[in-house]
Amino acid sequence: MIQPILYEIRLLGLLLLFSGIIGYFFNVLTPALVVGVTLYLLRNLYQLLFLFHYVITRKRTPSLTPIGFWEPIYNELERLHTRSRKRKRTLHRFTSRFREVSSVIPDALVLLNAAEEVVWANPAARHLLGISWPRDEGVALTKLVHYPDLDEYLTNADYSQPLEFPSPTNKTVVLSMRFTPFGGKKRQRLIVARDITKVFHLNLIRRDFVSNVSHELRTPLTVITGFLENLSDHELLPFQERPFELMNQQAARMNIIINDLLTLSRLEMENRITHPSPVPVPELLTTIVEQAKALANQKGGYQLEFEVDENLWLVGTENELQSALSNLVFNAIVHTPPKTKITISWKRDADNNACFTVTDTGPGIPQRHIPRLTERFYRVDKARSRQSGGTGLGLAIVKHSINRHEGNLSITSKEGFGSCFSCCFPDDMTLDANQLNPVKQKK
């Protein structure tokens, strides 16, 4: 850095010395010095013009050899040029790769800005969603995809569950649309829409199959139980008594399984409850607690504790909620030994959600079983559960019922310390009994 400056000082010094000597000899010292300085300035102006040309034309090499402090300036510019060219090449390579990859992805990808307008879309978005980029750039998503629930989905901005709907371009195709917020303040969104027609139909077939089989089994079972009832009116021979008792038990068990399967199929038909009405949860809990006490006494006595917010109601379907909440309470009695402490609470949590929690100090559930407990027929101990009359369908029914009420079931447990089953409903599914009109309160 010091070299170019020394060069410039030397150049200016030499020019002034040379013009000073000439001026001294010809007795025109001042004009000669002015000429010397002017020459130095003209030389720099000349260099500046070349620099201007070099920057504007973006040439790779300067058209004159820079000297003095012009040399490091040119060198720095050259370094910046090279770096920027490299970056451009990398960016270009990356953009073409991204275009190539996004064009072969079978799922539709759409980028939305904060105003929910299309910013970019890949080619698959054209045949799955009818969105073509760049044609539709800047157009609002709701103007391109006409689906009644889409507006509400975007307003709620709850993207935890994907939106499933028929493709706007082909009604026989079922799409699952997932929204992922990204960017500053997470106001932009990436949409991934996937063709789930096959999975959707397989699910329908499975649901219909289970429902049909359950219905079909019901008729022969009704006949069998009818005959068993008839037989119970007759005197049985001693060797017939035990088989008869077992037949009765198994028929009753089969009846429960069929009923549970039919309940599950019915719950699966719709993701949301269809005719919501105010549900007096504290009243439901009073009935559940009475039944729980009776069951607890039968099993040898439990320490039951309650904490109920008397004004906290829900909006939903009463019998579905009754069955879900009672299932959690009865499970705590059925799957724990006598004398266990069971705490039942119904109140708001810190986020104002309404939470129903059943905590027990029973043996707990090993961690590996917890994620699978809500699967159909999943039981930690099959033999014991069967003995206690369980079908393994209870928690699957609970989960579906709670989800249909926009709630969430969470299970925590620690072996040797007990379990906690909790279902929380969002504030907008709750009602304050104090604010209800008298007609509803009488319900």
List of residues contacting ligand ADP (CB under 6 A): 331-332, 335-336, 360, 362, 365, 373, 379-381, 385, 390-395, 419
Q: Least distance from C-beta 157 to ligand ADP, angstroms?
A: 33
Question: 288 exposed, middle or buried (CB, 10 Å; 0-12, 13-18, 19+)?
Answer: buried
Cβ 217 to ligand ADP, closest distance in Å? Answer: 18
- Minimum CB separation of residue 370 from ligand ADP in Å reads 9
> Which residue, 18 or 306, is less far from ligand ADP as judged by CB?
306
Q: Which is nearer to ligand ADP, 326 or 336 (CB)?
A: 336
Provide the CA 229 distance to its chain's centre, in angstroms: 52
> By C-beta, is 74 or 330 nearer to ligand ADP?
330
What's the min distance (Å) between Cβ of 126 and ligand ADP? 45
Residues 6+ apart with CB under 8 A from 81: 58, 60
Smallest distance, Å, CB 253 to ligand ADP?
A: 11
Least CB distance from residue 292 to ligand ADP, whole Å?
A: 12
Residue with smaller CB distance to ligand ADP, 342 or 354:
342
Nearer Cβ to ligand ADP, position 266 or 348? 266
Using the minimum distance from each CB to ligand ADP, give the nearer residue, 36 or 394: 394
Cβ 315 to ligand ADP shortest distance, Å: 25
Q: Find out whether 156 and 166 touch, Cβ atoms under 8 Å.
A: no
Structure tokens at 187: 């106001």
Choose between 118 and 342: whose C-beta lies nearer to ligand ADP: 342
Tokens of 236: 């049985």
Q: Which residues contact 256 (CB under 8 A, 6 or more apart)?
A: 389, 391
Amino acid identity at 15: L
Residue 327: Cβ-neighbour burial (10 angstroms; 0-12, 13-18, 19+): buried
- Provide the 3-class DSSP secondary structure of residue 379: coil
User: What does the alpha-carbon distance between residue 154 and residue 135 come to, in Å, rounded to a whole number?
Assistant: 23
Residues with Cβ within 8 Å of 103's Cβ and at least 6 positions away in sequence, in order, are 122, 123
- Name the packing angle between helices 394-404 and 318-334 (round to 10°): 140
- Residue 148: name the closest of 160, 165, 161 by CA: 165
Side-chain half-sphere exposure of 43, counting CA atoms within 13 A: 15
* DSSP annotation of 140: B
As measured in angstroms, the least distance from the Cβ of 161 to ligand ADP is 22
Count Cβ atoms within 10 A of the Cβ of residue 372 and give its class: 0-12 exposed, 13-18 middle, 19 or more buried. exposed
Q: Which is nearer to ligand ADP, 136 or 360 (CB)?
A: 360
* Minimum distance from residue 347 beta carbon to ligand ADP (Å): 20
Question: In whole angstroms, what is the distance from residue 324 CA to residue 279 CA?
Answer: 13
Q: Which is nearer to ligand ADP, 269 or 383 (CB)?
A: 383
Encoded amino acid at 128, one letter: L
Structure-block tokens of residue 60 = 């790779």
Min separation Cβ 390 and ligand ADP, Å: 3
CA distance 398 to 322: 10
The strand order across the sheet containing 418-425 reads 303-308, 341-348, 354-360, 418-425, 408-414
Residue (280 or 390) nearer to ligand ADP, CB: 390
